């Protein structure tokens, strides 16, 4: 059917999980993603892993960007990954992490299923480029 013109857009959930209240980075990313033509859903502050999973599943996002500056990433990220798994959403969601995440923790997070970690100093362009190239084709 010729009328089935696809109008696909990359959907991202920018998530603040845990108890840290530093959302400037998340705001900057949300805004940059929007300007890159993505559809961005912003979770708001202080969300639990369950809430993030719920939003990611219901919104059927291609990309989940998790911003953590509290240092609790080793606890929170696995919970989110398990939740995504539970709903069958783990395999085709590109999960990114941002914030202050020490180098020695990065391998562990990648083993959990995080595709990339963007620490301080990452350029916005780099992140957007990564999303464009790696967003799952469904």
Partner 1 sequence: MTMDEADESLLEALLAGEHRALARVISKIENRSPGYRDLVSELYAHTGNADVIGITGSPGAGKSTLVDKLAEAYRERGETVGVIAIDPSSPFTGGAVLGDRIRMASTVGDMDVFVRSMSARGTLGGLSTATADAVKAMDAFGKDKIIIETVGAGQNEIDIVRTADTVAVLVPPGSGDDIQTLKAGILEIADVFVVNKADREGADRTVQELREMVHLGEESGLAGSAGHHGVDAMDGDDSSWGDADESDAEDDWTPPIVETVATKGTGVDTFIDELANHRTYLVDSGTHAEKVRQRYAEEIRTLLREDVHALLEDELADSGGIDELAEAVRQGETDPYSIATDVLAPVEACVENLAADADDSSAE
Are residues 50 and 81 in contact, defined by beta-carbon separation less than 8 angstroms? Answer: no
b/e 71-85 (16+ beta carbons within 10 angstroms → b): eebeebbbbbbebbe
Nearer to partner 1, 23 or 101 (CB): 23
Interface region with partner 1, contact rule CB under 8 A, candidates 35-43, 64-72, 74-82, 103-111: 35-43
Site string for partner 1, 72-111 (x = CB under 8 A): ---------------xxx----------------------
Q: Does 57 bind partner 1 (CB under 8 A)?
A: yes
Are residues 109 and 78 in contact, defined by beta-carbon separation less than 8 angstroms? Answer: no
Q: Does 138 bind partner 1 (CB under 8 A)?
A: yes
Query: Residues 54, 60, 42, 15: what is their CA dihedral angle, to the nearest 10 degrees?
Result: 60
Distance in Å, CB of 105 to partner 1, minimum: 27
The correct pick among 51, 70, 122, 134 for binding partner 1 (CB under 8 A) is: 51
Distance in Å, CB of 71 to partner 1, minimum: 24
Q: Does 124 bind partner 1 (CB under 8 A)?
A: no
Question: Which residues of the shown chain bind partner 1 in the complex (CB under 8 A)?
Answer: 1-9, 11, 30-31, 33-44, 47-48, 50-51, 54-55, 57-60, 87-89, 138
């Amino acid at each position: 059917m010729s009328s089935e013109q696809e109008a696909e857009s990359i959907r991202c959930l920018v998530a603040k999980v845990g108890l840290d209240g530093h959302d400037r980075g998340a705001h900057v990313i949300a805004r940059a993603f929007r300007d890159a033509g993505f559809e961005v859903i912003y979770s708001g502050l202080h969300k639990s892993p369950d809430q993030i999973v719920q939003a990611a599943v219901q919104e059927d996002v291609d990309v989940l960007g998790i911003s953590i500056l509290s240092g609790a990433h080793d606890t929170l990220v696995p919970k989110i990954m398990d939740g995504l798994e539970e709903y069958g959403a783990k395999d085709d969601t590109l999960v990114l992490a941002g914030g202050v995440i020490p180098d020695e923790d990065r391998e562990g997070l990648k083993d959990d299923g995080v595709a990339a970690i963007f620490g301080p100093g990452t350029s916005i362009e780099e992140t957007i480029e990564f999303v464009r190239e790696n967003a799952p084709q469904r």
